[in-house]
Amino acid sequence: KERVFNRRFLVMANHYMVEPTACSPASGWEKGQVENQVQTARGRFFQPRLRFTGLEELNGWLEAECRRWAELHQHPEQKELTVAQAWAAERAVLQPVVAPFDGFHESEHAVSGTCLISFDRNRYSVSARVVRRAVQVRAYADRIVVRCDGEVVADHPRFFGRDRTIYDPWHYLPVLVTKPGALRNGAPFQGWELPPALARLRRKLGTGDDADRRFVRVLAAVLDDGLEAVE
């Protein structure tokens, strides 16, 4: 974890053209200072322990709490100001950020014969076009982006549990063209939420092998013409 943090910090420092300078090299007490700050933040914002449905809800609540706290508490050095007032004065002289920091950890993985990559004890599907090739996985706080030769071949919400397989059925469309029967039995297509127009067509065609083949012929057009045109 420490190596990952150091690598991310150096990338961020390079992005913002910051020259990091150690305050006290080889000073063991700095670790204790960081731990103390974590305990302070935990006691200030996370006690009693709260529950959130996801990172977005957590971040929204935390931002509101930080702003509320800053407005109510005195600045530790500029006693005549609140933390919020000191921040407002400082913010006016800060250099604006040209673009948001693209914060991710990248690692290389091999795509299996079933169009899956393994990452952090879970499996994520990628486009069938890159089966059995090496891809670059960019892990963000909330999503997993997979690239191959500079092209995005998968983009999934990140799952923090274990031993789960996350499918995108569209990744398997080239396989489905050659094996229409997988439409009913293949794991990637279970519970597939099709766009409304295609869902209506699927119901109208009915079930059976012939219906599957006819529907897959329509889906195959997405490979050449795109989903919007096919809809």
**Residue 187: per-residue pLDDT:** 94
Backbone angles phi and psi of 163, in degrees to 5: 60, 40
Would you give per-residue pLDDT tens digits along the chain (231 residues)?
Answer: 455 556 665 666 665 555 656 566 666 666 677 777 778 877 777 777 888 888 889 889 999 999 999 999 999 899 899 999 999 999 989 988 888 888 999 999 999 999 999 999 999 999 999 999 999 999 998 899 999 999 999 999 999 889 999 999 999 999 999 999 899 889 999 999 999 999 999 999 998 999 999 999 999 999 999 999 999
Rounded Cα distance, 175 and 189, in Å: 12
Query: pTM for the full model?
Result: 0.71
CA terminus-to-terminus distance, the chain: 46
Rounded Cα distance, 143 and 161, in Å: 13
Long-range contacts, 167-171 (Cβ 8 Å, 24+): 167/125, 168/125, 170/222, 171/115, 171/125, 171/126, 171/127, 171/128
Name the pairing type of β-strands 134-139 and 143-148: antiparallel
Domain ranges in the chain are 105-166, 170-225
Residue written as token pair 């700095």: 30
